[in-house]
Amino acid sequence: MNKPEILAPAGSRESFMAALAAGADAVYLGMKNFSARMQADNFSLPDLAGLVELAHSENRRVYIALNTILKPDELSFAGSQIKFLAQHVRPDALIVQDAGVIELARQAGFEGEIHLSTLANVTHQQGLLAAKKLGASRVILPRELSIDEVKSMNEACPPGLELEMFVHGALCYCVSGRCYWSSYMGGKSGLRGQCVQPCRRIYKQRNKESAFFSCLDLSLDVLAKTLLPIENVKSWKLEGRRKGPHYVYYVTTAYKMMRDNPGDPATKKDVEELLQMALGRAGTKAGFLPQNKREPTVPHSSGEETASGMFMGRLSMQGGNAPQGKGGKARATFKERREQVNNLALKPWHPVLAGDYFRVGNEDNPWHYTFPVRRGVPKGGMLTISPPKGKFPPVGAPVFLLDRREPELIAAIAEWEEKAGAFPPKGKGLSQFSPVLPPPAKEVAASHTQPTQKGSRDKGESVHTVVLSSSVPHGKDTRLAMRPGMMQGLWLTRKVLDEVSRTMAGRISWWLPPVIWPDEEASWRQLLAQAVNRGAKRFVCNSPWQLALFASPEHSAELAAKQDLRFMAGPFCNTGNALALGELARLGFDSAIVSPELSGEDMLALARQTPLPLGVVLSGFWPVGISRHSFAGGRLNEPFQSPKREIFWARHYGENLWLYPGWPLDIQPQKELLLKAGYKIFIRIDEQPPKELPEPSRTSPFNWDLGLL
């Protein structure tokens, strides 16, 4: 049997010690910058040096997550941090999302492993080859895969590449690396570690209110043992860098027991009991078992089933009912509300220990807050609740236990802290670092452009607009591709390809979807070969790894070159800096569309550094998320409303559900500025919203003015 490592999360020093105390083989954590969990405490660089040395003294490994996308002006600072890591910290691996960080690590002298984050979106078999080509040592698989798909990824895994798999922890509704929901609503991007979790909120559709998109936690528990024979799955990953040491200790202990004693019935029972005590959400196997697929969403009006922590009961009033407004008014005054919250109490469903950490309300309630408990309370006793100033939780509000400090756990952490005393922090300050950028592009690639008419405003330069549609406009053929300065873009499907003539196929920009799953790869290889045989020459890949599909047995790289195929990196590649563009060029792309998340300042700065000709999404309905899960309890192609009355809608394409805002992206007024900066390719997304959708009352500049936090 393969014996994968147990990889534990650590968002704080206490959690790091708890992971070591529980016997984790490896720990992953983040720095104060460039971590996809910026809400965690995270670690300073000098502290990391001592902690890594402690772990290494016990034959444990440490991986550092530098897994956000980088903006153009962040390369020097990120490079100086990696240089510090290489010289003073010496972690075993960096976990990265941005392909540019791979090159940055090389330049900064980092000699450890490179692990591609699940945010990098390596979702199909051939993508593993491209990941290996860029220098990855390990790929972290998507959480949406079934056991059969994990096996197919294992079989396709090239020598020298390992696989890592999540076995426990929080699930996002959208595919990792394919969620722009939080960013579109205000610059706080999940790709930058700032997600405000809009999927956890209560939405309304028709007369139904529900947490449609809020997921239970992934919990493979005893089914994790089915992964043991899969030889290239070298790591069982536990999600939870925002969790406390109690969670880390219990979950790590449980999966270590399951790995080491997979056939022991007593171990199975112990594992289930430990995970119940870990204070996570209720668990789900999601799509792990293809013959028994379970959707991870549980539609419920309160969202409590998917709130983090253990449910401990509801707030009640001490000595009677909540006060009403004077004269029988339904609405109480501020003074009366203050009196009400001063008399709130909880009769806990489970015993409370001194030092327990509670949350009143769900994460999306504007009045929710957290607090520590000073004294123990027995089950069914009375715990007085004193909300902070300005917080007015209602009677009946749910209360959750988030973290606790049992005496045994406190002692275990103290023991490891004593060991850590022998390994003090190291290194002071960052040294200067200047990344070597690839040479800038001279001119836009002719493969994805057509010359405009002589005498036009751009004087014959290759400037054009791609109008991207999911269906062929105006019947079988479209003449848009014949117009100077314009090009038809089509999402590639077998139906659409059959509707386009051989004459027109070579004039169209063919777009691959944002996600291709392992069970789809064979059919995609066949479809791409068919498209090439029909005369298609221009392809837009929406993850860097999709380019490897053109090197499959059905379509070799040599054949692609012979037939003059050209490849553009699409906007879902999340490209934000010159080094990432350089890696795309190394893979074989001749142009790229920058991440729509970037601010205007960042887009203009990138145009001055780019080694590839650049394009930008200028207007249209940009999807805020791509999911493999259903819209639980809701209706497709009908509007649903957020707590702030924002309108959204969802529809299916292939295996995935696409979520759209009710108002389109539009930076059309900035086109002249972008043209002057050097942008040549402009994308207009021609997505038709549902008939039931209200007429948009506004458009969105995305992060153009706001900036990407």
Predicted confidence (pLDDT) per residue in 336-346, tens digit = 666 666 789 99
What integer pLDDT is reported at residue 146 of this predicted model?
A: 97
Between CA 693 and CA 690 the distance in angstroms is 5
Cα–Cα dist 270/126, whole Å: 39
H/E segment holding residue 127: helix 125-134
**What pTM value is reported for the model?**
0.92
User: Whole-angstrom Cα distance, residue 312 to residue 308?
Assistant: 12
Q: Is residue 420 a contact partner of residue 381, using CB atoms and an 8 Å limit?
A: no
Tens of pLDDT, residue by residue over 427-472, are 778 889 999 999 987 654 444 544 433 333 333 346 789 999 999 8
R_g of the chain, CA atoms, integer Å? 27
Q: Residue 218, SS3? A: strand
**Spatial CA neighbour of 628 closest among 153, 143, 292, 139:** 143
Instruction: For the chain, list the domains and their CATH numbers.
Output: 5-170+217-279+408-420 (3.20.20.70), 304-403 (no CATH), 446-622+665-685 (3.20.20.70)
Q: What are phi and psi of 210, to 5 degrees?
A: -160, 155
* DSSP-based three-state secondary structure for 243: coil
Residues 402, 625, 671: CA angle, nearest 5 degrees: 130
Which pLDDT belongs to residue 444?
41
- State residue 363's pLDDT score: 80
**pLDDT tens digits, residue range 224-245?**
999 999 999 999 999 999 899 9
| β-sheet bridge partners, residue 619 | 666, 684
**Residue 633: predicted pLDDT:** 86
Q: For the chain, what's the residue count?
A: 709
10-residue mean pLDDT series, the chain (709 residues):
94 96 97 81 89 97 96 95 95 97 97 97 96 96 97 97 97 96 92 91 91 93 95 97 93 96 91 90 91 82 75 83 43 62 87 92 87 93 89 90 91 96 87 92 51 38 83 64 79 96 93 98 95 95 96 59 85 97 95 96 95 97 96 91 93 96 97 96 95 92 88
